Amino acid sequence: MSRFLAAALLFAAWPTQAQECEEPIDINRFIAGMEAVDQAIDKVNVTTARAILQDLKSTLPCCQDRVHPNHLVRYARQQALSNFWDQDEFATEYWAQMALLNPDIAWPPSLNNPDHPLRDLLGYLEPQMTIGIDGKGLAVPKGGAVLMDGVFLAEPKATIDTPHFVQRLDNDGYVIGGFWQDGSAFPDELLIEGGEAHKPPRWYEPPAADVDPKKAVKIDTKEVTRRWKLAYEAELDAYEEEQLRERALAAEKKRRERREAKEARQAAKLERKTAKEKVEQVVATTEPEPEEATPEKWLEFGFEKGRAALGDIHVLEVGSVADVDCDDLLGMEPFSIMGRLKEDQIQCLELRLRHAQKQTTKDRISRLLMADAWSKNESHRWESAVRRHLTTIGRSDAALCFIFAIYLAKQGEDRFREAIRWSNLALENSLQWEGDLRVERMYALYRLNALAAHQLWQEATSALMEDRNDVTKHSEAFWRNQTKSHAREWLAFATAAEADVELPFEVCVSAAGTADYCLVE
């Protein structure tokens, strides 16, 4: 494998919080996108601005250039403004924290007025505290580096409740992967046991403070050529992989045809035998075959009212390939579903997941480990596997987000915040469901959000009564607003779905203090 191809595969394998990269991008595409956002804002085209912001967030992990802190400040301000329009105080302050990386860069035309409410908020916003992970160090490539928000990162420390953009560089200073990180939640792939703080490599130079985030970046001609070679070799590799896949499918088709022919002969033989011996009465009294354990066993639905019929979620497809080993993922599927993976197989899969290069392979291995843990009732291992999958492999699976949100909600109040987070992601991808199933799940998710927020509001109210200060006041007001908003969303959906509206209306009124806010046509 060439050096170029190896670098390309490393780039594709590094975990992202968004979708798998269809193609690498350069920093100028990101800058052009932010310019388009400013133009949409100037025209008060809110929908277009939000759509571009979401696309930029999804594609930035595929950037082959080091992202400068000033570019992230510009993007964070745009995100904060978008959430400010939505009156989402939590998300506004979340992105505003990233904008504090450099509060001195020039403001866009839409925010030139120093009295703008968002600028007023940013002016009084205090940075969140920075925390690290005890006993852990950074997994840095030999001679390479890890950048957080465009700056060299010596150890796993980050500010909480703040979005961070992380990039990993090789020993030549080339970017081999990037992803968005929530606060100090470092992914397992970036951590090692122990380890000392790293020193910057010789080639590293701190980002210049005077970089204008509105100007295009000049990319060296040699670097453009290097990227072209990477893309070319990656295309060749994809072609070879497709050829191997087609040959494997053809071989599997032949095996399936032989198996089906054998089964047809056996069925015909059995039919003749049963007709001759008149075994209808025996069949009527025969004990049925035991039900095969399938991933549907994962999906027990909690919360007080009823249990939804979730049997149609197929997180894994059951295969029937013999000679199961760590390389035969298809053959291992039925064993994982029944909870029959051996410890050495699990360890082998964990190691293979750590070094897998293709996102599809990582996804499949991760689902094997999740299914096995659930079937063995090893809830702690299952929870860790699901959290790793959603945070480092992909979070677009509405069914998995739904399962995890419900699971967390059942664990108690200290998990409600995270449950709401994954519930919202499931709602964002709810178009993956159809018909009655979609209605049932969306109703359950809206209900989870409202009731969890209501419970957190009650906790905040109790804390305020015990100790009245700025922190408890802010917490009580925040969770009251969250309860009000989530309850009204639940009420609106219940009304449209012709479901029970009594409870969502009561929760909404309790937080809003008036029935007028909760009236839904």
Residue 112's pLDDT is what? 81
Task: Please identify every stretch of the chain with a pLDDT value under 50, giving residue numbers as ranges.
Answer: 1-19, 276, 278-324
Q: What is the pLDDT of residue 15?
A: 46
Q: Are residues 446 and 376 in the same domain?
A: yes
Domain identity same for 197 and 249: no
Quick one: pLDDT at residue 294? 39
Q: So what's the pLDDT on residue 274? A: 61
Question: What confidence score (pLDDT) does residue 228 get?
Answer: 66
Instruction: Write the secondary structure of 229-250 as one string of H (helix), E (strand) and C (coil).
Output: HHHHHHHHHHHHHHHHHHHHHH
Q: Show Cβ contacts of residue 277 under 8 Å, excluding neighbours closer than 6 positions.
A: none
Token output for 430 = 């709810």
pLDDT value of residue 73: 94
Residues 137 and 7 in one domain: yes
Is residue 66, in this structure, part of any structural domain at all?
A: yes
Q: 3-class DSSP state for residue 146? A: strand
Encoded tokens for 95: 């992105």
For 42, the token pair is: 């100037």
Give the integer Cα–Cα distance in Å for 116 and 146: 36
- Domain containing residue 110: 3-219
* pLDDT single digits (tens) 308-326: 333 333 333 333 333 345 8
**Domain shared by 409 and 329, yes or no:** yes
- State the total domains in the chain: 3
- Check: CB of residue 73 under 8 Å from CB of residue 165: no
Pairing, β 157-159 against β 130-132: antiparallel
Show the DSSP H helices in 278-319 as ranges: 280-285
Q: What SS3 string covers 304-334? A: CCCCCCCCCCCCCCCCCCCCCCCCCHHHHHH
Residue 95 lies in a domain: yes
Same domain flag for 129 and 214: yes
Asked whether residue 126 is assigned to any structural domain, the reply reads yes
Question: How far is it, in rounded angstroms, from Cα 444 to Cα 297?
Answer: 19
> In this structure, are 281 and 300 located in the same domain?
no
Domain identity same for 60 and 186:
yes
Q: Which amino acid is at 168?
A: R
Does 290 reside within a domain? no
192 and 326, same domain (yes or no): no
324 & 449 share domain: yes
Evaluate whether residue 203 is within a structural domain.
yes
Which pLDDT does position 263 carry in this prediction? Answer: 86
Shared-domain flag, residues 57 and 90: yes
Same domain, 271 and 326: no
